[in-house]
Each structure stands twice: as structure tokens, then as C-alpha cells.
């Protein structure tokens, strides 16, 4: 007997069953004080049909791939709600670009409930773009194909890179048009609509707790904290003031590990508001994200952030700490001592530093033989990469292949460095590569101290340095093709990104540096928060 369709499985609904929610069913935008969520029903779409399916995630959830059209796709589009689903939109607030924004909430995301995965865990399935909720404010609760395709691809790509993340099960076209102003410049236009079914143990965010604290809803705050600990941090034991402290430290640790992974692969989230921070330390809400191409710590893909660059690549560690401080402030009503959570911030700082260093050592093929020298080596590399506009992904991948030569041929270092720069640099201005060349000489000397052979070093480094990441121009090409009815680019890109550390010689073009034409092209270089 084959795996069931999503319409044939039984959903569990602990968030709805255990927490206080609003059950009026009204979809109009409004303030919803006193509740953790609102019960809502997705708004049906005209012609739902499947564009993409994550077979591996489907298998993990024990679900069969649906046909292009039919009841299962109707459920993935919100047109069909089964008897065991209790769909809801969560209430939360948040700081956006450092300013308190008040009530936000799931304005276009509707959770269907949880299903049991094959490992016994419970995974929540949420439809993004499924229509208005009380938290939609002035928006329509919909999402367009371009943003939905980007979230579908990137969620799964990050998973296969080993970065903690929410995931994506399906991408469904709605058959409806959605009007959007892509760059908020007065050029609104209709675009094809789509819905992503995204998956995580929970989508609870820092902002869920912030809204309770902001409205002095201490009972709801405690109930949500206890619910989160019971279901998602059970190893901490029954909730108590001491457990709240340990819980915050665990959140801080997970957040640090997450940010360290972002920094190791050159990922820029783009909009690290507190409402976009997962309580589980997962990458959540793939909006105006991007990958570093020319290495630049001040780069952000988000046009909305061009003025302050608050969420630029190099600012992510600092912003995550700021967000943790905001969460700590929200949790203080649960504690007698307002300073009790401060050690958690030290946990964040220590974990971030240790994890970033460990990940960089792996990327460089080094084992901890010389702690002080190695720390200096890893800390000096970012500045060295910035001068000659080095493509971070290409640099580390090619360095992996060069490792045997750097070990075996010390007299040919300059030649190897020239080769590396020719492959990885966008623009080498004479003199601006000197810092990197000095760093490479230090690195080559250190690499020769490793006991492993050159070939072993190369194999280890290739497992740590991806050849393929979801560059914005690649995603934009898949979007434009899909909008024209051609899914082949999406399908090829999706398959390659599942094994980003493999060579895939037939798809070398997907590992290429950003071409000149994509430098300033909308969607290929910069994006906005528009869906």
C-alpha cells in the first residue's frame, strides 16, 4: 500500500487546543488582544495546480506526491480543509528595522495543523499566500509566484547545505493574478499568484512573546512559554523560573549556531526583524534574501534597507544579539530577577564565536593544531576577501581543489594564487589583492602542518564548501521561465541544489559567478519586501 495523500492523514492541533484563541472566523483586519491566534479558513483560489514538490520532505512526512490537480493540491492551496485540520493564523508583534511595529501576525500564512513524520516528530504545515486573516492589515493575504518560488527553492537548498531552516513541501500556482508594486515605486502590476506549503516543528517567533509582553498579557505569555517548552524543549523539564532561564540560553545557543552557518555560506537574510526570528533557531521567512557574490560585509539585497544597511551581511551577528535582547525583555515578566536572562546573551556570543571558528576551520581543511594562530587566520580572512571583490562561494570551492598543490608544491604558490584570483575575483585592482596574497601565504604554510595527505584535505574541504548556492540571478531565471510556463529551469535547479557539494559537471553554469548583466537587474541583484 502506498503513502497517503495529505487529505488522508490525521492532523493534530496542539497550538489551537492548548492555547487561548479567537474563534470568530472573521477575516477583516483588526487588533486581536488577549489571544495567541485566530481561527481562520483559507480563501479558495480559481485553479490550483502543482508546480513543484519536495519528494524527500514528502517521504519524511509520509506523504505521496499528488497529481497536478486534484483533492491533495486543493488542500495545499487552501481550497479544501479536511475534518482533522483546525486552520489558524498566529498573533505576534515585532521590531521592524529597530522600531516597535505593534501587532503583526500571520497576515498571509495559515497553519493547517501538525502531521506525524516518519521519525515520530510532529511537523506543522503552513500555507503561505492562502488569503486574508485578521493580521493582514491593508494587504490581501496572497503571495506571488516569484516570491513563492524563491522560498520553495531556498528553504530546501538551505536544508541540503546543512543550515537550520524551515522547509518547503510544495509550490502551487493559484490561477489568480495578484497585484504588486515590486519596488514600491508606483509601478504596481498583476503577477501570477502561488502558495508555498512550508514545514517546521513550529513557526513560533520571538514576536509571539513580544506582543504578549507589550500588552501585559502575562497569563498568555506564560502559557505560550510553557507550551513551547513542553512541546519543543521537553528535555528541559517542567516549566519553572529556572527552566525559563535555561530555555533562553538554549534559544540563544541555537540562534548563534544559525547565524554562524549563515556567515559560513555567505547567506544574507535581508530582513531580520524580531518577528522573523524562529524560537527554534531556524531560518524563517525567505523574503529579500541573497548570497554574497563580491565579498562585502556591508551588502544587503533588501532595497528597503539601503539607507541604514541594518541587515547587511556583516551586521547579522549583531542584529541577532539585539533581537535576543528584545526577546529577553519580553520574557522578564516570567521571572523575579530581571537580570536572570543576561547570561544567555553571553552564551550567544561564546557559541557564535566558537561555531564560526569551527566552521571556518572545516572550510579551510584545518584541524585545531594551533589554536591562537588559527584564530588569527580565520579572523583575518574576511578583510582579505573584501579588497579584490572575491566571490566567496567560488573562492572556497576552488581553494578546496588547490589544497593538494599548496601542500606538495611550495615553490609554485604565486602561480596557484594567480589562478585562484583569476577564477574567484570579480575585479582585481592592482594592490588591493595584496592583503589576500599575504593571507594565502600564511594559510599555505599552515596547511602543510596538517597530517592528512593533500587528497584527503581536498576531499574534506569539498564536503565543507558547496559548489552550488541559490544565487539571485539563478532564481530569477527560474522565475521568468516559470512565469512563461517553462518549469525546466526550476526542476533542474532544484535537483542540483539537493546535492550542493557534488561536482555536477553537466551543470557547471549553475556554479558560475554572477554575470555582468545581472549586476543591477531587478530580482537578480536586489529585491524588496514585496511578495
**pLDDT band at residue 514 using 50, 70 and 90 as cut-offs:** very high
Co-location of 431 and 444 in the same domain: yes
Co-location of 164 and 239 in the same domain: no
Residue 241 has pLDDT above 90, yes or no: yes
Residue 509 has pLDDT above 90, yes or no: yes
Write down the pLDDT at residue 530: 58
Question: pLDDT, tens digit, for every residue of 358-372?
Answer: 999 999 999 999 999
Write down the pLDDT at residue 26: 84
Co-location of 193 and 248 in the same domain: no
The DSSP line for 445-488 is: HHHTT-SS-HHHHHHHHHTTS-S----HHHHHHHHHHHHTT--H
Co-location of 211 and 99 in the same domain: no
Question: pLDDT, tens digit, for every residue of 171-228?
Answer: 999 999 999 887 667 788 999 999 999 999 999 999 999 999 999 999 999 999 999 9
Question: pLDDT, tens digit, for every residue of 472-485?
Answer: 999 999 999 999 99
Alpha carbons within 13 A on the beta-carbon side of 371: 1
pTM of the model: 0.97
Last residue in a domain, options 147, 178, 203: 203
Our CA angle for 285, 494, 320, nearest 5°, is 25
State the Rg of the chain over Cα.
24
How many angstroms separate the CA atoms of 10 and 388, rounded?
Answer: 55
How would you write 67-116 as a 3-class SS string?
Answer: CCCCHHHHHHHCCCCCCCCCCEEECCEEEECCEEEEECCCCCEEEEEEEE
Enumerate the active-site residues: 275
Residue 416, domain member (yes or no):
yes
Last residue in a domain, options 135, 170, 203: 203
**pLDDT band at residue 529 using 50, 70 and 90 as cut-offs:** low
Question: pLDDT, tens digit, for every residue of 289-340?
Answer: 999 999 999 999 999 999 999 999 999 999 999 999 999 999 999 999 989 9
Question: What is the mean pLDDT of the segment spanning 230-253?
Answer: 98
Co-location of 246 and 354 in the same domain: yes
Beta bridge partner(s), residue 463 = none
Question: pLDDT, tens digit, for every residue of 304-318?
Answer: 999 999 999 999 999
Between 75 and 24, where is the model more confident? Answer: 75
The DSSP line for 256-304 is: HHHHHHHHHHTEE-S---GGG-BTTS-B---SS-EE-SB--TT--SBGG
Residue 511, domain member (yes or no):
no
Name, in order, each residue with C-beta under 8 angstroms of 155's C-beta and a sequence gap of 6 or more.
Answer: 165, 166, 167, 168, 196, 198, 283, 286
Write down the pLDDT at residue 531: 53
Number of domains within the chain: 3
Residue 524, domain member (yes or no):
no
Mean pLDDT of the chain: 95
Co-location of 178 and 230 in the same domain: no
**pLDDT band at residue 16 using 50, 70 and 90 as cut-offs:** very high
Residue 247, domain member (yes or no):
yes
Question: pLDDT, tens digit, for every residue of 48-98?
Answer: 999 999 999 999 999 999 999 999 999 999 999 999 999 999 999 999 999
Residue 526, domain member (yes or no):
no
Helix or strand run (H / E) with residue 341: none
Write down the pLDDT at residue 523: 80
How many angstroms separate the CA atoms of 490 and 98, rounded?
Answer: 35
Question: What is the mean pLDDT of the segment spanning 4-23?
Answer: 98
Co-location of 344 and 211 in the same domain: yes
Residue 131, domain member (yes or no):
yes
Last residue in a domain, options 203, 238, 272: 203
Co-location of 156 and 211 in the same domain: no
Question: pLDDT, tens digit, for every residue of 417-468?
Answer: 999 999 999 987 777 789 999 999 999 999 999 999 999 999 999 999 999 9
Domain that holds residue 12: 6-203
Closest CA to 152 of 41, 65, 57, 61: 57
Between helix 434-447 and helix 413-424 the angle, nearest 10°, is 120
Co-location of 355 and 378 in the same domain: no
Residue 146, domain member (yes or no):
yes
Co-location of 430 and 323 in the same domain: no
Residue 185, domain member (yes or no):
yes
Write down the pLDDT at residue 411: 84
Co-location of 385 and 352 in the same domain: no
Co-location of 168 and 33 in the same domain: yes
Amino acid at each position: 500500500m502506498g503513502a497517503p495523500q495529505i487529505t488522508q492523514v490525521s492532523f493534530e492541533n496542539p497550538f489551537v487546543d492548548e492555547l487561548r484563541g479567537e474563534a470568530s472566523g472573521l477575516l477583516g483586519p483588526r487588533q486581536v488582544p488577549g489571544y495567541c491566534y485566530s481561527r481562520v479558513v483559507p480563501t479558495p483560489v480559481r485553479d490550483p495546480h502543482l508546480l513543484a514538490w519536495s519528494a524527500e520532505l514528502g517521504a519524511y512526512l509520509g506523504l505521496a506526491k499528488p497529481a497536478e490537480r486534484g483533492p491533495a493540491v486543493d488542500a495545499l492551496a487552501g481550497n479544501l480543509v479536511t475534518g482533522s485540520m483546525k486552520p489558524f493564523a498566529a498573533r505576534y508583534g515585532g521590531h521592524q528595522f529597530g522600531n516597535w511595529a505593534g501587532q503583526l501576525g500571520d497576515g498571509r500564512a495559515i497553519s493547517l495543523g501538525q502531521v506525524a513524520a516518519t521519525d515520530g516528530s510532529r511537523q506543522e504545515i503552513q500555507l503561505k499566500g492562502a488569503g486574508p486573516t485578521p493580521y493582514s492589515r491593508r494587504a490581501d493575504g496572497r503571495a506571488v509566484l516569484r516570491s513563492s518560488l524563491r522560498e520553495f527553492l531556498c528553504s530546501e537548498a538551505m536544508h541540503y547545505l546543512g543550515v537550520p531552516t524551515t522547509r518547503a513541501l510544495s509550490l502551487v500556482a493559484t490561477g489568480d493574478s495578484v497585484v504588486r508594486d515590486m519596488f514600491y515605486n508606483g509601478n504596481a502590476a498583476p503577477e501570477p499568484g502561488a502558495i508555498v506549503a512550508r514545514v517546521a516543528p513550529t513557526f513560533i517567533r520571538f514576536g509571539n512573546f513580544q506582543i504578549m509582553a507589550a500588552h501585559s498579557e502575562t497569563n498568555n505569555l506564560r502559557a505560550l512559554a510553557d507550551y513551547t517548552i513542553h512541546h519543543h524543549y521537553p528535555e528541559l523539564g517542567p516549566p519553572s523560573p529556572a527552566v525559563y532561564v535555561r530555555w533562553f540560553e538554549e534559544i540563544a545557543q541555537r540562534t548563534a549556531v544559525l547565524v554562524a552557518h549563515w556567515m559560513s555560506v555567505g547567506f544574507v537574510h535581508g530582513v531580520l526583524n524580531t518577528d522573523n526570528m524562529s524560537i527554534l533557531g531556524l531560518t524563517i521567512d525567505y523574503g529579500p534574501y541573497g548570497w554574497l557574490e563580491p565579498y562585502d560585509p556591508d551588502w544587503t539585497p533588501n532595497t528597503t534597507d539601503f539607507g541604514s544597511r541594518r541587515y547587511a551581511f556583516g551586521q547579522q551577528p549583531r542584529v541577532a544579539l539585539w533581537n535576543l535582547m528584545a526577546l529577553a525583555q519580553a520574557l522578564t515578566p516570567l521571572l523575579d530577577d530581571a537580570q536572570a536572562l543576561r547570561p544567555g546573551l553571553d552564551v550567544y556570543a561564546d557559541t557564535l564565536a566558537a561555531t564560526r571558528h569551527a566552521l571556518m576551520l572545516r572550510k579551510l581543511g584545518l584541524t585545531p593544531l594551533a589554536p591562537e594562530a588559527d584564530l588569527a587566520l580565520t579572523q583575518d580572512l574576511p578583510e582579505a576577501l573584501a579588497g579584490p571583490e572575491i566571490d566567496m562561494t567560488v573562492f572556497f570551492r576552488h581553494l578546496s581543489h588547490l589544497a593538494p598543490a599548496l601542500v606538495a608544491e611550495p615553490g609554485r604558490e604565486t602561480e596557484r594564487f594567480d589562478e585562484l584570483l583569476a577564477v574567484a575575483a570579480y575585479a582585481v585592482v592592482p594592490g588591493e589583492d595584496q592583503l589576500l596574497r599575504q593571507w594565502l601565504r600564511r594559510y599555505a604554510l599552515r596547511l602543510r602542518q596538517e597530517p592528512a595527505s593533500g587528497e584527503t584535505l581536498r576531499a574534506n574541504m569539498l564536503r565543507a564548501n558547496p559548489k552550488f548556492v541559490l544565487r539571485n540571478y539563478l532564481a530569477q531565471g527560474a522565475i521568468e521561465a516559470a512565469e512563461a510556463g517553462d518549469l525546466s529551469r526550476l526542476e533542474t535547479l532544484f535537483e542540483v541544489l539537493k546535492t550542493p557539494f557534488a561536482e555536477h559537471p553537466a551543470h557547471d553554469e549553475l556554479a558560475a559567478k554572477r554575470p555582468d548583466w545581472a549586476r543591477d537587474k531587478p530580482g537578480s541583484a536586489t529585491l524588496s519586501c514585496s511578495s
